[in-house]
């Protein structure tokens, strides 16, 4: 049975762990998706980007609304909760980026301290890897 995610035809699915799949598409691209997300967006029919976005987001919103209801969050608390959530996501993103940059700048304290020398080194390393791959 042929399956799609959006307009992309699925070639194969690899079970990474109990919560995650790696999806390989016919064009060779790979994507890691949670099993929850995969089950919400996979289809036997092609769909456009707008429909795919709806398939991705609506179940998440439904789950969040359920949590808010279960916890009895007040309407007056929603704006504050949203601000705290966004702040937490930004902190996590910065920490993840910092961890990636530590390979290039071992003394890095914050991603705001990443300099253009490190960026240049990373880009040159990518170019070298790309050149190596074309020789094979």
- CA gap 38, 50 in Å, rounded: 17
Q: For the chain, how many structural domains are there in total?
A: 2
Residues 49 and 95 placed together within one structural domain of the fold: no
Residues 59 and 115 placed together within one structural domain of the fold: no
Residues 105 and 86 placed together within one structural domain of the fold: yes
pLDDT at position 128 is 74
Residues 1 and 68 placed together within one structural domain of the fold: yes
Regions of the chain short of the pLDDT cut 50? none
pLDDT at position 1 is 87
pLDDT at position 136 is 57
pLDDT at position 5 is 97
What's this model's pTM, rounded to 2 decimal places? 0.75
Residues 55 and 78 placed together within one structural domain of the fold: no
pLDDT at position 135 is 64
What domain range is 5 assigned to? Answer: 1-72
Residues 47 and 13 placed together within one structural domain of the fold: yes
pLDDT at position 133 is 67
Which of these three, 21, 51, 72, is where a domain ends?
72
Which of these three, 72, 91, 122, is where a domain ends?
72
pLDDT at position 112 is 93
């Amino acid at each position: 049975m042929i399956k799609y995610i959006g307009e992309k035809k699925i070639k194969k699915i690899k079970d990474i762990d109990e919560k995650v799949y790696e999806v390989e598409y016919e064009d060779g691209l790979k994507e890691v998706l949670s099993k929850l997300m995969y089950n919400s967006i996979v289809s036997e029919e092609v769909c456009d980007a707008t429909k795919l976005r709806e398939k991705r987001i609506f179940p998440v919103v439904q789950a969040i609304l359920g949590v808010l209801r279960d916890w009895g969050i007040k309407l007056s608390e929603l704006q504050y909760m949203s601000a705290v959530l966004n702040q937490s996501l930004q902190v996590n993103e910065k920490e993840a980026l910092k961890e990636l940059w530590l390979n290039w700048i071992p003394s890095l304290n914050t991603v705001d301290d990443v300099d253009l020398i490190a960026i240049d080194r990373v880009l040159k390393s990518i170019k070298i890897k790309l050149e190596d791959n074309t020789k094979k």
